[in-house]
Structure 1
Amino acid sequence: MKRLLITGAAGALGRAMRARLAPLAETLRLSDISDLGTAAPHEELVQCDLGDAEAVHRLVSGCDAILHLGGISVEDKFSKILNANLLGMYNLYEAARANGHPRILFASSNHTVGFYRQDQHIDTTAPMRPDGLYGVSKCFGEAIARMYFEKFGQETALVRIGSCMEKPSNHRMLSTWMSYNDFKLLIEAVFRAPMLGCPIVWGISNNDSRWWDNSHAAYLGWKPQDNAESYRAELDAALGRPDSTAPLAVYQGGNFVKDPIFPEA
């Protein structure tokens, strides 16, 4: 493709994907509200508040595809989540509608279903059970994407990311972990697919103890290569076995289920 837009490019996941995705497009347009550093020869850097509709329209113009990582990625005050994750999502989809419907990969979250127990195995037909305001914002994002697909034909992969990082840092992540390399392979599969639609995809590696069924998305041709099980002994030695009654060991959303609602003041 000629130009790939990555929102949230200054975040941890955006930084991890920045170099890995360079071969995917002639130009990477990198956007964030925070500092993006220095542009490489194949990069365009655009500072943008997702809550600013005009700025988002300019941001999307000329892009062939969008990797939407932008927004608040943890539990926070509703006003912050509202601007970045709700208003920002609407602005992005209106901008895409006005600019030729570039295909989108939306970084949704496992926290859309965080109140399921870890002994439950679910697929994408399971009702949403968000574990906080952040999870609710991702439910909203999935709903916006679905409406724009049904109404306007806007294709989006709704990727419910588990825990995408270099390696798992607790026992819950033995089920939720997705390696950087497997995420890269998923991004390539989403933008390569002749037809996408609007599928929900669980963003996890090929973990032995996974809770989520991805069989419905097999048509994408994505085959994750890594397995969190290889880190189990390391986690056992470093952390010991977790308390079996703690939220981190009971709920798929882990400690998010007990996080308080942040006050506005």
Structure 2
Amino acid sequence: MDVKPGRIVMTGAAGRIGSVLRAGLRADAEHLVLLDREPVEPEGDRESAARVDIGDRAALVEAFTGADAVLHLAAIPDEAPLDDLLDVNVRGTHNVLEAARRAGVPRVVLFSSNRVTGNYPIHHHVFPDEPPRPDGLYGVSKVAAEALGQLYADTFGLEVVALRVGSFAEEPTQTRHLATWLSPRDCVGFARAALTAPNVAFVAAYAVSGNARRFWDLSAGENELGYRPVDDAARFAGRFGDDDPFWHGGPQGGAFARPESVLPHLRE
């Protein structure tokens, strides 16, 4: 018998992934509470919304009260100056975890990133328990966010799932995506499993479709969350040449791991 999500609070609900998860979870969840700095319009009586910044811990506590779980998506989603990433991605995640603890929410699902290990070489099959090798400052901020999740699981007994999200898109748009693509359908599947899996303490799992060329091990998602992805970027392989330099070697993060991706964000 499938376990259904109960009352779920979603931060960053106005974003691309938030919009997909709303549509995918709406029929299952008892109620979705949608939080964002931008206005969000509820659809139907199973949704409600509020304008809340993740920097406002008191507002988070109020919004989280009575929830069964929090889906934490709000973040700076790409490379940026470290001060900004620390403020939003690290302190913001801390506020979410601490607000969940104070409000008595049993589970938090953190949307982390594959880029916490983006500097491993493409020929290396990465397991979630291997040391982080972030491909930039953004990856560093997600490493710190995961560490906070581990702390709150170990110290306070919060159930925490860190989903290391792949390249989320309707369809692959570049060669790297043959390894890293996360389809909307699998994104919803991973989120639902992370919300409902039993016996969770702390789980870090790669949330990526079942791509034949993937770099990342999927056993944590399957064994600890009970989800096996159903899509595979291989059906789009004909769009991309096999001679792409990406496959010649180098880091899994591709262009994200190049110095020119980080250098513009290093302040004097």
TM-score (ref. length: structure 2): 0.90
Deviations 1:217-260 (A, max 9, x none): 41322111100100110234xxx8423488xx632112111212
The answer for the alignment partner of 2:183 in structure 1 is 179
Q: Kindly tell me: are residues 244 and 112 of structure 1, through their superposed partners in 2, closer, same or farther at Cα, counting changes over 3 Å?
A: closer
- Map 1:216-255; keep pairs closer than 5 Å: 216-217=220-221, 218-236=223-241, 241-244=243-246, 250-255=250-255
1:84 aligned partner: 88
**Does 2:148 match 1:137?**
no
User: In structure 2, the residue corresponding to 1:250 is in which secondary structure?
Assistant: coil
Unmatched tracts of structure 1, length 5 or more? none
Q: Contact 2:67/2:105 (CA < 8 Å) preserved in 1?
A: no
Q: How many residues align?
A: 260
Matches of 1:181 and 1:59, distance apart in 2: 28
Q: Secondary structure at the match of 2:21?
A: helix
Structure 2 gaps, min length 5: none
Moved more, 85-94 or 52-61: 52-61
Displacement of 1:11 in angstroms is 1.0
TM-score (norm 1): 0.91
1:25-64 aligned at under 5 Å gives the runs: 25-37=29-41, 39-64=43-68
One of 109, 113, 118 as aligned partner of 2:113: 109
Q: How far does the alpha carbon of each residue in 1:67-86 deviate from its partner, in whole angstroms, 9 at most, with x for none?
A: 11111111112232122111
Contact 1:114/1:251, CA 8 A, preserved across alignment: yes
Answer whether contact 1:159 1:200 (CA < 8 A) is retained: yes
Partners of 2:8 and 2:29 within 8 A in 1: yes
SS in 2 for 1:70: coil
Matches of 1:242 and 1:35, distance apart in 2:
42
Contact 2:20–2:188, Cα closer than 8 Å, also in 1:
no
**Residues 204-219 of structure 1: matches in 2 within 5 Å?**
204-217=208-221, 218-219=223-224
Q: Does 1:9 align with 2:8?
A: no
Cα separation, 1, equivalents of 2:104 and 2:185 = 30
Q: What SS does structure 2 have at the residue aligned with 1:89?
A: helix
CA distance in 1, matches of 2:157, 2:6: 22
Contact 1:60 1:95 in 2 (8 A): yes
Contact 1:50 1:83 in 2 (8 A): no
CA gap 1:219/1:243 in 2 versus in 1, 3 angstroms: closer
Farther-moved stretch of structure 1 (151-160 vs 185-194):
185-194
Alignment-mate amino acid for residue 252 of structure 1: Q
Q: CA RMSD in A?
A: 1.9
Structure 1 distance, partners of 2:129, 2:21, is 29
More displaced 10-residue stretch of structure 1: 211-220 or 159-168 = 211-220
- In structure 1, C-alpha distance between the alignment counterparts of 2:55 and 2:200, rounded to whole Å: 27
SS at match of 2:19: helix
Contact map agreement 2:7 2:66 (CA 8 A) in 1? yes
